[in-house]
Structure 1
Amino acid sequence: MTQIALITGASRGLGAALAKALVPTHHIVAVGKTVGALEELDDAIQGLGGQATLAPMDITVDAAMQQLCRGIFDRWGKLDLWLHTAVHAAPLAPAGHIGPKDLAKSIAINVEATARLISYVGPLLGQGGHAVFFDDPRGGAQFFGAYGATKAAQIALARSWQAESQRTGPKVTILEPAPMPTATRARFYPGEDRSALTDPATEAARLLPQILQA
């Protein structure tokens, strides 16, 4: 039976690299907001001999996520793997000067959407599926208030789900990727020497054995 992997945040960076790395073992359901980037990913997956289902959706739109998960159930009846790489990188700002809109968007994407997706995707994963989250521990760092707080809240949700599902499943794993030259990181460190960072494809290959562990 075909293995199905849902990747939220698949259009760029680590999400796209993981989608390509999973081609030999999984059909990819790729979720992202940028249609052009998803189409490029689809071309790359087909070039590697794989198949993808593109879902150009905003994870903060509840009805869209319900429709997505219902579509997965109707077509395959289950999910084997969920990789949640979607994140909002709010502009850096002192804690006392975080813009209300930036904070609201960070909460909507990094926390609220994650909580809803856990409730929708969990039943598709069942007892034998695997959900993977990606930590970026910047909570408490200078100027990272909006990003650090909401990313920490996302991982706290994942850790609670991990503890709650330890005996019943699905398996929940939290990984910490190495620094990569992604668009998210470029917003935080615009003048950084990116040559010293790990290429997303290299990092995907390093993380893959842990992701594929049953």
Structure 2
Amino acid sequence: MTDSTSPKIALVTGASRGLGAAFAEALADQYHVVAVARTTGALEELDDRIQAKGGAATLAPMDITNTDAMAQLCRSIHDRWGKVDLWVHAAIHAAPLTPAGHIDQKDWDKSIATNLTATGQLIPFLSPLLGQEGQAVFFDDPHGGDKFFGAYGATKTGQIALAQSWQAESVRTGPRVSILAPKAMATATRARFFPGEDRAPLHDIREEAARLIAELSL
């Protein structure tokens, strides 16, 4: 049984940088944040920012493609809090842009493992923790079929298709599944995709996180 006095729990996968970090920092006003990412240093910097705002976080430096580690994390969350109120899935592998005929096999395998396989494993892990009242959040980035976006476009499109299926299946039973559409932001990932792009018109990550969180009506 979940303690009614326990904090609301937000699990953010891909929390070390970019939109995931901005979401984690913003959510810390209302949630205890469980921050998952591979980069320990970036997670510690996130924790410093959250603590400076008076929030609290649990850092989980791990790779979402490590099934055993993620299963253990979900078990630990269950044992400590008994639930997840909000899951924000921002983890992604953004393979370098390249013609389809020149896709590097390691990048292809990593794209499938991170963007598809891990998502397909995390949904069954987290669905019981989210229950009927929880909410899962995914971020659309429609590049399927765009030239040079083969590995990223195919696997990101597949991820969102999986999320859409879960969304349709859970309308009456929960959890609520939201698929958000971020505006173009000045992230490191976008800089790799579009080097030399004028970044002045791009949206601030923190402002965009605040806008998207408002859409969720938390």
TM over 0.5: yes
| Candidates 110, 113, 134, aligned match of 2:115 | 110
> What's the counterpart of residue 7 of structure 1?
12
Q: How many residues align?
A: 213
| Candidates 179, 196, 203, aligned match of 2:201 | 196
> What's the counterpart of residue 174 of structure 2?
169
Give the aligned residue type for 1:94. Answer: P
For structure 2, which runs of at least 5 residues remain unmatched after alignment? none
> What's the counterpart of residue 93 of structure 1?
98
| Candidates 118, 137, 140, aligned match of 1:135 | 140
Does 1:49 pair with 2:36? no
| Candidates 18, 21, 41, aligned match of 1:36 | 41
> What's the counterpart of residue 184 of structure 2?
179
Q: TM-score, normalized by length of structure 1?
A: 0.98
Does 1:63 pair with 2:97? no
After superposition, the CA RMSD in angstroms is 0.8
Output the CA distance in 2 between the equivalents of 1:211 and 1:58: 27
What is the DSSP-based 3-state SS (H/G/I as helix, E as strand, rest coil) of the residue aligned with 1:201?
Answer: helix
Output the CA distance in 2 between the equivalents of 1:57 and 1:176: 26
Identity across matched positions, percent: 67
Output the CA distance in 2 between the equivalents of 1:12 and 1:5: 16
Output the CA distance in 2 between the equivalents of 1:193 and 1:64: 40
- Could you tell me how far 1:6 is from its partner in structure 2? 0.1
- Could you tell me how far 1:96 is from its partner in structure 2? 1.6
- Could you tell me how far 1:211 is from its partner in structure 2? 2.6
| Candidates 196, 213, 217, aligned match of 1:208 | 213
What is the DSSP-based 3-state SS (H/G/I as helix, E as strand, rest coil) of the residue aligned with 1:195?
Answer: coil
Give the aligned residue type for 2:199. Answer: R
- Could you tell me how far 1:53 is from its partner in structure 2? 0.2
